[in-house]
Amino acid sequence: MATILDGKAHADRMLETVRQGVEVRLAKGLRAPGLAVVLVGEDPASQVYVRNKSAACAKVGITSIEHRLPADTAQADLDALIDRLNADSGVDGILVQLPLPQGLDSKRALHRISPAKDVDGFHPVNQGLLLEGLPGLRPCTPSACMSLLAHHGVELKGIRAVVLGRSEIVGKPMALMLLEQHATVTIAHSRTKDLAGICREADLLVAAVGRPGLVEGSWIKPGAVVVDVGINRVEDEILGGRIFAQEPKKLDTLRTKGGVLCGDVRYGEAMAVASAVTPVPGGVGPLTIAGLLTNALAAANREV
């Protein structure tokens, strides 16, 4: 039976480090870090994320400033707000919540944020610094996953790592961070031939594709470490019956509540083959906010 890599516990450790860092600033007579969160429109999932971010900021002493704009906001008005936040000396970090409503160009918005305040690590300058292996603000989810792996003493040097997914938010930066730690990295994706065979070679498998239960137990090399970045809601009982064959509790929740959260990996099957697995929920999910607040403190301290 694999070890459960508890993301919530690690997120709490990371948040405690941030809280102490904020205290050090205050003891020096500096102000608390300021994080501006821009939410355009009414996307329900985004509203939940933003609420969770504000609550986490309050816990660690970071000042969170929310800017809510209507869904029909013009790009020029979003640009103007970002310009104002870039120029505001009380704002250390700026996060524009994604996805933006239709009609708004997210790349244009993300590229407009000052790289020094880009706490998401999505600006091309920060992505370029990561590519070069130089310090910069790095994407929160992969940074926090690296921190989780380091905490659990997972050896990366020389191992075969497979990253399933090629997004700019997770897959690509995760691959670069693993490469920096001397792993031999393969990025696999929806067009990869023999996905199962590629995954089966991985000593470390990172799944970040957003496909519920895609990774079966038979895709996992015995003793591998599995990091499941996917957070999917499954409502279909036929799909649930297939992917939760080894997780009767999930299947039960799906049947009684009409839906259940799960990752990209079939957790029950993975637990029987792997040496360590992140659960969903309670794995990578809580780490993203911890990574964000770590970046907000670093931006305030101008450490990167």
Question: What is the contact surface with ligand GUN in residues (CB under 6 A)?
Answer: 49, 95-98, 120, 140, 288
Nearer to ligand GUN, 228 or 269 (CB): 228
* Catalytic residue of the set 118, 120, 203, 228: 120
> Closest separation between CB of residue 106 and ligand GUN, Å?
9
Question: φ and ψ at 122, to 5 degrees?
Answer: -100, -10
Query: Is the bond preceding 139 in cis, omega lying within 30 degrees of 0?
Result: no
SS3 string of 176-234?
Answer: HHHHHCCCEEEEECCCCCCHHHHHHCCCEEEECCCCCCCECHHHCCCCCEEEECCCEEE
Rounded distance, CA 122 to CA 182, Å? 23
Nearer to ligand GUN, 120 or 269 (CB): 120
Looking at 97, 117, 172, 264, which residue is catalytic? 97
| 246 annotated active-site | no
User: Which is closer to ligand GUN, CB of 154 or CB of 290?
Assistant: 290
Shortest reach from residue 24's CB to ligand GUN, in Å: 26
Task: State in angstroms the smallest separation of the CB of 118 from ligand GUN.
Answer: 10
The residue with its CB nearest to ligand GUN is: 98
Q: Is 53 a catalytic residue?
A: yes
Burial label for 162, CB within 10 Å (0-12, 13-18, 19+), is buried
Active site residue 117: no
Tokens 């790095």 correspond to what residue?
A: 138
Rank residues 4 and 69 by Cβ distance to ligand GUN and give the closer one: 69
**Interatomic CA distance for residues 159 and 182, integer angstroms:** 8
Catalytic residues, by residue number, are 53, 97, 120
